[in-house]
Amino acid sequence: MSYISHLYSVYFAPRGNVRMAELGMQIAQQYLRPTDKLIGVIGDPGSGKSMLIRGMFPGLDLTNGDNGVSVRPLPILEMLDDPLGVNKKGLSLFATPHTYHLDVRFEQGFTQLPVLADAIMAALRKGKRVVVEHFELIYPFLKRQTSNLPVNADLMVGVGGEVIITRANLFGPEPQDIANIVFKSIRYRKMAHSAEDITSYFLTHGGEEEYEHADVKHGFVLCFKEKPIVSLEKIESKVKAVIEQDVPITFHDDEHIKIGDVVYHCNAPRNHVRRSGEIEGFTLIKDIPYDPVRKAYLIVGLVGYKEAPKIGADLDKIERIY
């Protein structure tokens, strides 16, 4: 048997639930193998892990309290009932799901980690696929029967400022390596998302958006079919004033946030900083370039930079605030 080595791939973590689900679908098409049984997903709450999983595995029942619903008892625990292949309901394993999901951070409030790990290993031995959120928490407890080495995921996905896809081997990466990256970068994504919505509010005067969203590292891109007639200096000044006021940014419902007392439409309302004052180094690029690929005019906002890079510059070489 030959093996194709895949170190890692990196995507911008997109804004919005629909785009995150579409990315999940793309990841499944390009990277998921039929033989992959253990899928590890790593990232902070609100980073979009669940929506990414929905895109990767359409129809999979998530068990972690999304929309206020949690599945009790946890289905995968039935794998521990009977080693002969019949669970406590008297059902053959052929009648049980092929793919299980669990959120380790959520479940550890109900079940000890070693028990969850035993259930995962039992499911894998019985040919099931298991999708594990917060995989880094359970990894040290996943042991093979023939050795004391932890069992790493067949496919590991980290969700932070970027989405990282990797296949671990004997030399790594380990789940904590991915966690260290995504837990650090998520704060910039939250800053950018909050700055984007505040900017959008002033661009639209609180009305409907007339543009599409795109991505840039540590920032956001708004794509217009027609070149907007707007003073970017004035918009930037207004946004910075809101940042200085340090107003709360809170979840309102599945399609809205509150910026201070203002209710504003948002397609990813859980992915924000808690207060506007947490947005660091905000700036708007003072050009509105035309992108011939998208066939759109772009307004670009950045966060976390000590100086404003110019369009076309290598943004990774600009010193950031870390």
- Confidence band, pLDDT 50/70/90 cuts, at residue 171: confident
CATH architecture of 186-317: 2-Layer Sandwich (3.30)
Number of Cα atoms under 13 Å in the Cβ half of residue 127: 5
Burial of 74 (0-12, 13-18, 19+ CB in 10 A): buried
Q: Radius of gyration of the chain from Cα atoms?
A: 22
Residues 103 and 139 sit within 8 Å (Cβ to Cβ) = no
Residue 233 corresponds to which tokens in the numbers above?
């200096």
SS3 of 36, please? coil
The pLDDT of residue 208 is 76
Q: Where exactly are the structural domains of the chain?
A: 8-173, 186-317
The pLDDT of residue 205 is 82
Measured CA to CA, the distance from residue 265 to residue 255 in angstroms comes to: 6
Distance of CA 57 to the CA centre of its chain: 15
The pLDDT of residue 92 is 53
Average pLDDT, the chain: 86
Residues 162 and 12 sit within 8 Å (Cβ to Cβ) = yes
CATH number for the region 8-173 comes to 3.40.50
pTM of the model: 0.84
- Confidence band, pLDDT 50/70/90 cuts, at residue 86: low
The pLDDT of residue 137 is 96
- Could you report the per-residue pLDDT of 24-47, keeping only the tens digit for each? 999 999 999 999 999 999 999 889
Measured CA to CA, the distance from residue 255 to residue 209 in angstroms comes to: 14
Does the pLDDT at position 315 exceed 90? no
